[in-house]
Every structure is written in structure tokens, then in C-alpha cells.
Amino acid sequence: MDFGALPKSVRSTLENSTHGVLTILNIGCKKRVPPVNNDLLFLPATVLAEKIRKAEITSEQVVKAYIERIAEVDGLLNAVVEGRYEDALREARLADQLVKSGTWTEAEIAEKLPLLGIPFTAKEAVLIKGLPSTCGLVCRKGMTAEEDSEPVKRLRACGAIPLALTNTSEICMWWETYNKLHGRTNNPYDTTRTVGGSTGGEAALIAAAGSVIGIGTDLGGSIRIPAYFTGIFGHKPTQGVVPRGGQFPPALEEISPYVVVGPMTRYANDLKLMLSALVGKETTQQLGLFSPINIDSIKVYYMLDDGGSPGTSISRDVKEAVKKAVDVLSVKGLVVKEVNLKYMKLGFLIWCAYLSKVKDQRIAKLMKGDVKDDDEGTQHELLRWLSGKSEHTLPIILNAFAQDHLAPVFKSLLDFCSDCGDKLKEQLLDLLTNEPSVFIYPTFPHTAPYHGQMLANPYNVSYSVIFNALGLPVTQCPLGVNSSGLPYGAQIVAAPNNDALSINIAEFLEKELGGWSSP
């Protein structure tokens, strides 16, 4: 790739970093990314798009600013798998030419190309033509996407410009972003901490101001947990409203009730703009994304923890943050009520129970790089890992083993938990559908743990995965940082097709509590 159009210092960094894929060896040395020194990087996509339409700034300026920021931070983060920087600059110049030509008025551009000239990034599972399609699998090294995925096509159709692909956990099946092909991604607030997974590279880059908006996928908190650990906004949309075509791993029909594609942003008001582009005009109107909402009319239910499941107690700072958010809404005049939904404590097991019904989307097959039958089994792979010869990470091997061997053994327990999940969904829908309502709930029990600690207590993801099982739209909203400078937040849950309610509450909380805090 030719980086000739970039400043010499930026060009040198990008050329020498193998497209930003650096392995951070001194994990024990705590670092954070350098401060942002370009004012363009502090502007939401909504504002940038308006300024580009008005010719107050150029798309080329914006794209260059983000390329320079990637060069500045990715050596610490290892978030970017590969960029398309020259192509992005060329497309930015075309966007600027359209504005200058006067072919369309500013209003016409806003209507037809609402994201004109805005760069975006995507997790590697969301395919971009010509860029890698490995999802962290060593056996897929060198494979590239032959065409854009449907979400990327839709953002392009609105004028947005793909900038880079970001790192994921191996085949998106773990809550830490690490794999044997691209390495480990670090948290921009503290490089000794995890960014979560599977959309961890995307969250890290957005939080570090290396991207303004991005695409993630969410099967078990994969958007919301990384967004929480890095202090940004992430939205898990209503099931099925965003087309998922063009992913690896492929989202087969039987897993479609649980997995979604959704937006990740640094600013709350970009969620609607991006979600609208992903769902299309007709669905935007059906969801009422831009319809006026009287926030005072929304009723707020909340829980401060899951009711007492083992090992998932909420830390004091997270609990205080949730209380602060609830208090702000109460002062605003919203009706606020604490509830106790007893089945929430079974959240992780309910999610496992629902996914145990998935038969074709076997992890052991996906580990081979496709969906062919696995002829050796996970026991052999575990032995290879123990001898240091495996190309896979331990979590993915354990996940595959659990799916193939533990799920059948615990069938009775999983059936019981599935029944509890059905009852919990009925209870939540009863709360959320009788009148405009949201449910506020922690995203995770504490701030970002150190690298590797997620494996010690996977049950902590119970707070997020339960909403994949129940199929409800959720907005992860940052609520500040703790005394150590690590972000925390909470989930805002709504009834199906009421995405606008949760996003509106997130927008209000951002104004009151500050939203994203620069690392």
C-alpha cells in the first residue's frame, strides 16, 4: 500500500507496524494512549457530516486526522488488523468533489447521503472487500473478503468511508480480544487491562479517538461489554432489524434469534444516525428513531445487581454509578422504580440453555476455518494446547469442548434454565410494553479486569448475555470513570422495536453525566 499522501512521520509508523498489528510484550507495564491533539477528533459524526456538507471542513481532513491518530495509538492498542488508508483518502476526495460541484444542495446531501465523507471502522467479522477475513484463525491467514458485508454496503450507500478492520477474539467466541494470528488488544485507559470481546478492537480504537463510529456484532454482550470497558456507547438493536449478511463466522439461521449487528460510537447522538443507515429508511420510520419523544413520559425500572448469584456481586463504584444515573432521571421527573426479577441471577445459565439448542453452528467446525465436520474432536485440540502446539486459544478450545460434551450432560439443568428464561422474558415484556418504559441494569460487575482474568469467572458476563437470550434491544451507556481512571456504565433495556427509547435515555444521561471521557 502506498502511503505517499501522508505526513512522513505517519507514513513511517504505518509502514513499519504491519498495518497496526503490533504485539505488546510488556503487558505488566501500565500505559495509556496519548491525549488527543486534533479538535476534529472531538466532533461527533453527526457534526462532522454537517460541516462536510457545508464545506466548512473537508472529508479528506477528517480521514487524514483519523489515519494520523491510528498511527499514534495503535502501537499501544494493537486494535487494527488492517487499514485501507489510500483508498479511504481517495474516496474522501470524491466526497469533497461532490460537495464542491453543487450537484446537490446541502439538504439533498443530508437526505441522500447523511454520512457523506465520514470514516468508519468495523470488527473483522464484518467483511470489507479486499481486507482480511480471518477472525483470528491461523488457518485463515491470508484470506480476504471478496465483497462487502451488507452492513458495510449500507453505510457506504449513505456516503460513509470504510477506514480499517479491527481485532476480535478468536472466531468471536470469547470475552477478551486475543487470538494467535493478530495478538492481544489493550485497553486505551490502561494497557494492562482487557478491552473485552469479541468486538474489543473496535471499542478500543473508538475510545482512543482512532475512529468515530464503528460496526460490531453481539451474540453474548460482544458489543456492550467492550463498550463498557472502554467507556463508549454501544447499541444491541432489536433482533432482526439490521441485516447480518456477509460475516465470518456466518450467522446461520438457527443462531439468528440471538446475534445482531449494531453501532458503536463515542457520542450518543451518533447511535441514531448510524442505526438509521444500517436499517434503512422504512425501518427507521417504523422504529421512530427521529420522532420526538417526551423523555418525561418514560418510566424507568432498575436493578442494582442480579439478585445474588455466586461470584457476580457488583462493585461499589459501579453500583454508585447506576444509582447516580437513576437519581438524575428521578430529578428530571421520570417515574423510577426498583424491581427484583429473581430469574436474573440465572442469566448466564439461561443464555447457555438457549444456545445449547443450536446444533449446526458448532464451534469445533468453525475452528477449522469453515463449517465442515470436525473429524478429530476438541479433546485432541486440548492436548495440542497443553503441549504448546495448538493454533487456538484456550478459551475457544474450552468453549468447543463445553458445547460438544458438557451441554448434553447437563441437559436437564439447561431445560430448567430455559423455562426460567421464558418466564423472565414474560416478566420483562410485561414491565416494558404496557407504557413507554426502560430497564436500567449493570453491564458488568466491575471495571475492566486485567488481561486473562475473564477466564477465571466467565459468569460475570451474565449481566449482558441475558439480553441476547431474551432478544431485547439494549444501549450500553458510559457513566464516568472510577478513581483509577477506568470507565464504567450501565445498560438501558427496552421492549422490541423501542430502540429509540433506550437511545434517548442514553443521550440524556450523556448530557447530564458527561459520556465518553478521553483517555
Show which residues are catalytic: 123, 198, 222
Q: What is the rounded CA–CA span in Å between residue 394 and residue 414?
A: 24
Strands 161-166 and 119-123: parallel
Partnered with residue 178 across adjacent β-strands are 184
Q: What is the rounded CA–CA span in Å between residue 167 and residue 205?
A: 10
Instruction: Compute the Cα dihedral for 162, 166, 172, 176 and give only its sign.
Output: negative
Helix (H, G, I), strand (E, B) or coil at 206: helix
Partnered with residue 119 across adjacent β-strands are 161
Would you say 263 and 513 are in contact if contact means Cβ atoms under 8 Å apart? no
**Residue whose C-alpha is closest to residue 110's, from 66, 47, 62:** 47
Q: What is the rounded CA–CA span in Å between residue 162 and residue 227?
A: 20
Would you say 76 and 24 are in contact if contact means Cβ atoms under 8 Å apart? yes
Write the DSSP assignment of 456-492 as a string of letters. G-GGGGHHHHHHHHHT--EEEEEEEE-TTS-EEEEEE
Q: What's the grid cell of residue 94?
A: 470524491
Helix (H, G, I), strand (E, B) or coil at 115: coil
What is the DSSP code (8-state) at residue 252? Answer: -
Q: What is the rounded CA–CA span in Å between residue 251 and residue 505?
A: 30
Q: What is the largest CA-CA distance in the chain?
A: 67
Helix (H) or strand (E) holding 70: helix 59-77
Three-state secondary structure along 420-439? Answer: HHHHHHHHHHHHHHCCCEEE
Q: How far apart are the first and last CA of the chain?
A: 30
Q: What's the grid cell of residue 161?
A: 468511508
Task: Give the list of residues 6+ apart from residue 145 with CB closer than 8 angstroms, or none.
Answer: 127, 128, 129, 130, 131, 132, 133, 246
Strand locations in 16-143 (E):
80-83, 119-123
